[in-house]
Amino acid sequence: MNDIFLRVDELESQLGRIHSDFGELKLKFKELLEENQRLRIENQQLRKVLKRETTADIPTEAAEEPAAAKGEDKGTLAAAVGEGYDNLARLYHEGFHICNVYYGHLRMEGDCLFCLSFLSK
Ligand SMILES: [Zn+2]
């Protein structure tokens, strides 16, 4: 009978170890997901810069027509703002914070009120 209690004790401490190992793994996983997201955003931005750099040398028609260029700039800016908003909304729906409180961190507990108020602006 004593044997059984010893076994149960042993199992209990094993379970405790597994539990704490699992907690560490979960944390590591969260960090990796966050890092992955950061790298994805950085990669996206670098691609944009690269695209701008490689097309900057080619003279455009807009450069010869300042009036037309002005109108185009406005359109481009509005498009960029819209794109920025879309990116943030997508990021949020992929499970990340976009609020200035926890930006870039994984949302562990459902919706975030800070993020939602930001999105509804
Ligand atoms: Zn948030």
9-57 tens-digit pLDDT: 999 999 999 999 999 999 999 999 999 988 888 888 888 887 887 777 6
Distance 2 CA to ligand 1 centre (A): 53
Distance 31 CA to ligand 1 centre (A): 17
Distance 110 CA to ligand 1 centre (A): 10
- Under the banding of pLDDT at 50, 70 and 90, the label for residue 8 is very high
Tens digit of pLDDT for each residue in 79-109?
A: 777 777 888 888 898 888 888 888 888 888 8
CA distances from 1 to 4, 7, 40 (A): 5, 10, 58
Q: Return the pLDDT at 51.
A: 82
Tell me the whole-structure pTM to 2 decimals: 0.49
Distance 79 CA to ligand 1 centre (A): 25
Distance 44 CA to ligand 1 centre (A): 22
Distance 107 CA to ligand 1 centre (A): 7
Q: Provide the β-strand partners of residue 96.
A: 106
Residue 103 in tokens: 């930006």
Q: Return the pLDDT at 84.
A: 78
Angle at 104 between CA 98 and CA 107, to 5 degrees: 75
Q: Rounded to an integer, what distance in angstroms lies between the CA atom of residue 116 and that of residue 120?
A: 6
Q: Return the pLDDT at 60.
A: 54
